[in-house]
Amino acid sequence: MNRPRPFSTTLSAMPITRTPCRISTLLIACSLAAAPVALSGCEGLGGATADTNSILGAFSGPTPTEAAAWAVDPYDADKRARGMLILANQPFGGERVYIDVYRLALNDEDPAVRAVAVRALALHGTTEDAERIAEHLDDGDRLLRWESARGLQRLHNTATIDPLLERLDTEKESQPEVRAAAARALGQYAEAVVLEGLISALDDRDLTVNRAAKWSLKTLTGQDFRYDVREWVAWRQAATDPFAERRDYEYPVFSRSPTWVEKIIPWMEPPNEERARPVGMPVQSTDAG
């Protein structure tokens, strides 16, 4: 599914760097797919003409063809990560040929590349990709676990509930930012086991996790007992339908003020996102205000 940037179901068992034949195929496909966008030869991804004698040259990036080649470079993990990130943040980044690259990169030997692949699929993937992303929630790399938890805020799939709940357990997840991202992702699932996990997370030693858990509890129930675990438990035991006043879930987005460069150059603007519902999340029959 191709969504505007508001950041076979079996993946290959071999990392990108060990499959040169597959790389060649993807490189050709990516280059052909990007070619119509880059017919001018010097047009960068930012839309400006990359004339090195012009001030515009300082702001132009690689062409789509170059970014596609970087994304599947068999020898340079940094280029693979940068190329995929550039492609994922373009309007055409959700085309099937690029999604195939992102999915294959989930098995890359470099954790930074896998993290970018997760982010790209969070932007352009499907509900099936949510399960692929969830497999990285227990990865040894902290950044990858965090990206995976954040990515699952944008893709709805009940199969990810248990892996997300495991990330709330301080004995299994040492990083508070990962626990907080998981707590936020769970706010889209109106299930009793989720409520129990989120209420328990209010006792987490990190305030970031507490805030994320409270936000999700408020979204799921329409109630606000702040961080008082006893009140939440008492209300939960008395509630006939704890989700009767459930609110609409929208994933958190990136937003910032424009920089001085973006203010003076007409076509540049902050890469701010728009709030939206996760892909695959059923529309609620009623939404509390």
CA distances from 154 to 23, 160, 187 (A): 28, 12, 11
Q: How high is the pLDDT of residue 288?
A: 42
Q: How high is the pLDDT of residue 262?
A: 75
Q: Which of the pair, 265 or 55, is modelled with greater confidence? A: 265
CA pair distance 25, 257, nearest whole angstrom? 41
Tens-digit pLDDT profile for residues 160-179: 999 999 999 999 999 999 99
What is the distance of C-alpha 20 from the center of its chain? 28
Spell out the domain ranges in the chain: 1-125, 158-289
Q: How high is the pLDDT of residue 1?
A: 46
Q: How high is the pLDDT of residue 60?
A: 59
Lowest mean pLDDT, pick from 18-22, 132-136, 247-251? 18-22
φ/ψ of 155, rounded to 5, equals -125, 130
Q: How confident is the model at residue 33 (pLDDT cuts 50, 70, 90)?
A: very low
Q: How confident is the model at residue 265 (pLDDT cuts 50, 70, 90)?
A: confident
Q: Which two tokens stand for residue 197?
A: 């996990």
**For the chain, what percent of residues have pLDDT higher than 90?**
66
φ/ψ of 66, rounded to 5, equals -65, -45
Q: How confident is the model at residue 263 (pLDDT cuts 50, 70, 90)?
A: confident
Tens-digit pLDDT profile for residues 198-227: 999 999 999 999 999 999 999 999 999 999
Q: How high is the pLDDT of residue 226?
A: 94
Superfamily covering domain 158-289: Leucine-rich Repeat Variant (1.25.10.10)
pTM to 2 decimal places: 0.77
Helix, strand or coil, per DSSP, at residue 63: coil
The chain-wide mean pLDDT, for the chain, equals: 82
Residue 136, pLDDT > 70, answer yes
